[in-house]
Amino acid sequence: MTMISNPILPGFNPDPSILRVGEDYYIATSTFEWFPGVQIHHSKDLVNWRLLTYPLTRISQVNMEGNINSGGVWAPCLSYSDGTFYLIYTDVKSRQGAFKDTHNYLITAKDIMGPWSEPIYLNSSGFDPSLFHDEDGSKWLVNMLWDHRKGKNKFAGIVIQEFSIEEQKLIGPVRKIFKGTELKLTEGPHLYKANGYYYLMTAEGGTEYNHAVTMARSKTLFGPYEVDPQNPILTSSRSPELELQKAGHASLVETHTGEWYLAHLCGRPVKDKYCNLGRETAIQRCCWTEDSWLRIEGGGREPLVEVKAPDIEPYPFEAVPEKDDFEHTELNIHWSTLRLPADPTWLSLTERRGYLRLKGRESMSSLHKQSMVARRQQSFYCEAETEVEFDPEHFQQMAGLILYYDSEDYVYLYISRDENLGKYLGIIQSKGGQYDELLERNISIDGAECCKLKAVIEREWLQFFYSLHEDEWHKIGTPIDISHLSDEGSDYIRFTGTFIGMCVQDLSGTKKHADFDYFIYKENDKDHKEAAGAGVAKAVLGDL
């Protein structure tokens, strides 16, 4: 029996919107302040997945310069009707305090690979918009309604409004069709038609450890909606022993073999309640009861790590190469930049062929113009390595290897210049916005033309290394607890995950550049499991 292993999309891949077109399956996930916007993943069997494309690739579609941390692109909804793909998304500009500025847009494409259209503005009344295509050809936008007023339920329910294809805008009255259940914090709505009912699936309980999937149904589109008597239909709440926590924010798909699956958000803590990889995507097999309610197959409401796969021939994809030699003229699909797309004013793969050249701009604290190229951390046990050529002239110029959650939480192994040491290596940590330098004495590498940098991660522990000669690695500093690089590492709720990558800063404004020869991202889960199974302590970090 073929099994699905959860999470199917490890690392920062939240808010899954699953779609089948023919015998192809797609999942769109949130990208928040990272560019390009919205990851679309592809599968033929629900077991094997690959990152396929991004629909938001132009500033004209989403301009996030200045967007707050964990703002940007929230909760996309991917759908298909009459030969056209539809993508709904929110661009969140602010979310702290009483107000949320949440602008909702629609883009379309005839092919999943694009080209995707310019955006049609929809509304700003709340987030998590979703488009439902009814059997009569009408199209309906649902979203949660945000109420900023004192004493009100800020998650004020789910509203619906018709979208006109002819007029390319929302038309007609806005109707509230669902106020939510006693779990509260009602969001993430998706509408489905099955068994003679309209089903409204929502996320409730908040996107942390009380997260849940709830269901209601109605014989008519506008309700009233009857709440499932066994809600929630999926949750990890009050089950801290489960590997998959935070289960919620789901979407539903029927396979071409007539089987039902629920894609949902989850999180896996590394220690206590800290989820360094962010919120991930898992999938559960479902069935319908005799009285037409949806249930997790096998009974219960808890998310399973191992799930029976559909009756579809396995369709594996080629493994992602561990090493990027920067031999192409464009970044590969796994790289992301902060808030804005890469452009020749600060990034080049052609000025020096075989190298990624980054020109220094603003600091790691900036919400505007950072010169950073990074990829998701997708394993608890992994390592990253790069080689950089950089000749800083003074302390305001830095370049190196970074683990980055957001502008308040990161750890940075960097090269800079000091009046006494000359060119040197140091480690900067920002924890909850508090700046620190972790080495008692920075390490001089004056005279070295290039330097290799490495990060080795085992769950919440990070150890940095450097090398000035081939394969002669030296530890730099002591192991660092990186559990603060997580949704839970702040006084306010955050929604992304840890990225690993390269960056350059020039705080003097002269755009000093650094050249990166390659980047290796390698996952060590298999090595760790084999060592643990043999009773051998695999001390990747050295002597802790």
DSSP, residue by residue, 378-444: --SEEEEEEEEE---SSTTEEEEEEEEEETTEEEEEEEEEETTTEEEEEEEEEETTEEEE--SS-EE
CB atoms within 10 A of CB 121: 12
Catalytic residue, from 33, 45, 91, 187: name it: 187
Burial of 166 (0-12, 13-18, 19+ CB in 10 A): exposed
- Joined together, the tokens standing for residue 468 give 């000035």
**Tokens 């790069």 label which residue?**
386
DSSP, residue by residue, 246-293: EEEEEEEEE-TTS-EEEEEEEE--SBTTB-TT-EEEEEEEEEE-TTS-
Element (H, E) at 530: helix 525-533
CA 87, 93, 99, 105: dihedral to nearest 10 degrees?
-20
What is the three-class DSSP state of 75?
strand
Residues 6+ apart with CB under 8 A from 243: 268, 305
Q: Is 187 known to be catalytic?
A: yes
Q: How far apart are CA 60 and CA 539, in angstroms?
A: 48
- Joined together, the tokens standing for residue 73 give 């692109």
Do residues 358 and 335 touch, judged by C-beta distance below 8 A? no
DSSP, residue by residue, 380-395: SEEEEEEEEE---SST
Burial of 204 (0-12, 13-18, 19+ CB in 10 A): buried
Residues 6+ apart with CB under 8 A from 255: 20, 25, 46, 261, 310, 312
Q: How far apart are CA 363 and CA 194, in angstroms?
A: 52
CB atoms within 10 A of CB 210: 18
Residues 6+ apart with CB under 8 A from 52: 26, 40, 41, 42, 112, 113
Q: What is the largest CA-CA distance in the chain?
A: 78
- The DSSP bridge pattern shows strands 120-123 and 461-467 to be unpaired
Q: Is 15 known to be catalytic?
A: yes
Residues acting as catalytic residues:
15, 187
